[in-house]
Amino acid sequence: MTSDLKPTQDEVLRRVGRNLVTFQQIEQMLKFLLARHKGGGTTDNYLARHQENADCINAKMLGLLVKRYSDEVLQDAGEEVPDEDRPEGWFSFSFRILGGSEFVETLRRDLRLMTDERNDLVHGFIPRWKPESNVVLEDTLRYLDVQHKKVLPVHEHLMRTMNGMQQSRTLLLNFMNSPEYEKQSEL
């Protein structure tokens, strides 16, 4: 590596790292949301069922996480959500994002694009790594910046969704600990 290209080479590697961290954050947010977006059980088995689900989710690859998020969390507001028959003593909750068809399809498309971009960086970056060519290094810098901008909407969406889900869970917990809940459950 020639010393006059060293700053550009270092910047390419810095941006590769930035993009990889962004993709890993997205993957962790998907795992967090999918492990918590729905739950159910009896007082005897709820915690074990939750842990089993979380362990299953944490073992999934990004493509499978995106599919589950698209299928289970994103919900077209025009589609019916079927009720499930549950045994006595069962309690459950779920968190979904409802929106119009265009909104849901845009999110699904953005999630697929993010997955493709992540796979391109992780599995296809080496052909772009030409540390001896300033022209290729500059092209690579632009590619990495465009890639980062493409996936930021997914990152922001997941961050907002995580925050919203956590706020909803806090409200539910506060309500369940309130005298009003006791009164409603007696009725």
Pairwise CA distance, residues 88 & 171, whole Å: 25
| Predicted TM-score (pTM) of this structure | 0.86
Is the pLDDT assigned to residue 1 strictly greater than 60?
no
- Span 96-122, mean pLDDT? 94
**Per residue in 11-30, pLDDT tens?**
999 999 999 999 999 999 99
